[in-house]
Chain A
């Protein structure tokens, strides 16, 4: 018996059931049953959490030097569940950065960026860059002391880039220095420009994954299974729902136990004794203390460029040298260096 409601939709949306099944039932390789291969879905879920909580916070947030801090205080101390939603947003940001980095590391160490997936590596690197910029601009919006000085230092780092530095700094701050037009800029970048860019990038990223299919990895026990793939819907979606629930429980626990706090309000005349960025910039912050500004910025630019261009560099190494697994050892060295610099910055005051 045909359902009249289904018929009503079919007459208006000429989408056959078979098309819908094909669209949702992408066969997924068996190795995705391991949760660490589902790390790509984790940032996607967190992006939704960030978008939802961000829209809600934007209802009360007022982006001006006179009102920003007070509006964050209102959200944290007076609005119902404001402390919870702000803490979710803060911890969600931390987890999102961590998830994107872990996803990128997994792709790196399994060599999933190699031909023909170089384009998606570039898209993924751009997503990582956008996520880090979202973290930076969001941190600046609170307009507490560390937000203000973080923004000032960040803008000066941009200003130290040879040739285009001054232009970038002026574009970021809306003037020579931090002024009354700066905070609205950060707000628009954080709440409109970057989220739109990120949503588009994620759409491209997923579209490319669908077009190319997921890279297949076989583990010892996979051989025993009859089918090499399983259905995206509902099987893999269930994995993602479970990951989402576990994330929500962890985020809620962290939001309750370690809620987002509010430091002293921004004072453009006094730099705090101890100034730190968010943890994911510790490595860059320590790097800046080790070398002169120009050397540190140029070397960081070179490292970032190398990361973007890695599929081609790796290809060259594999073709021209006998070190076919060089990327693994370079990756391990890189990760250890990042962890070492991050821990170093975390444990010392200056």
Chain B
């Protein structure tokens, strides 16, 4: 349709010049706008984190140091606590689970309650079973679970996957001794030094 208008106007000796002028202005403004918009997009992308952090395997403990049905608490070099639980008697990765201690509700630290056989979040009473699945409180209502660390067992040694930047900060350490679970178990005894038990 615009071509018709241009032709008609051209016959009258007017029209083509204003149209070309209008088109060239549009092209120039568009070009300048697109160029600076590209720059702005680059700047925006620059601010967003580059890519997921590179990750590696960190040694946690010997597989046999975690009793079947029990768990240990591992503190990473960055200070995060990881609950490593053994669910089966075998020595494969499927027999272990490494759970983050960060509550999926609002990020508080959960802790293990041996006598209740559960993880508990003191902030909003979130409750998680030994596999990390929420069974009560806001995370339970939302169907959330504690996030799992990728875990592998090699030559009887347990490793979890962490960002390389965390691994580079030093060694992690096992904080709480193995916690056997089961009927009749008194969790209060688990943390006592041998002298007190004697």
Please give the residue numbers on chain A whose beta carbons come within 8 Å of chain B beta carbons, in ascending order.
Answer: 52, 56, 59, 74, 78-82, 84-85, 241, 245, 248
Contact = CB atoms under 8 A, between A and B. Distances in A.
Given A81-B42, A85-B46, A245-B32, 20 more contacts: A52-B43, A56-B43, A56-B46, A59-B47, A74-B50, A78-B50, A78-B51, A79-B46, A80-B42, A80-B45, A80-B46, A80-B48, A80-B50, A81-B43, A81-B45, A82-B46, A85-B42, A85-B43, A241-B32, A245-B35
B55 to A, nearest CB: 15
A320 B45 CA distance: 62
Interface string B66-89: 000000000000000000000000
Decide if the interface of chain A is mainly helix, strand, loop or mixed: helix
Contacts of B51: 78
Interface in B40-65: 42-43, 45-48, 50-51
A172 to B, nearest CB: 31
Contacts of B35: 245, 248
B36 to A, nearest CB: 8
B42 A79 contact: no
A85 B42 CA distance: 9
26 contacts: A52-B43, A56-B46, A56-B47, A59-B47, A74-B50, A78-B51, A79-B46, A79-B50, A80-B42, A80-B45, A80-B46, A80-B48, A80-B50, A81-B42, A81-B43, A81-B45, A81-B46, A82-B46, A82-B50, A84-B42, A85-B42, A85-B43, A85-B46, A245-B35, A248-B35, A248-B39
Contacts of A56: 43, 46-47
Contacts of B39: 248
A84 B46 CA distance: 10
Nearest to B40: A52
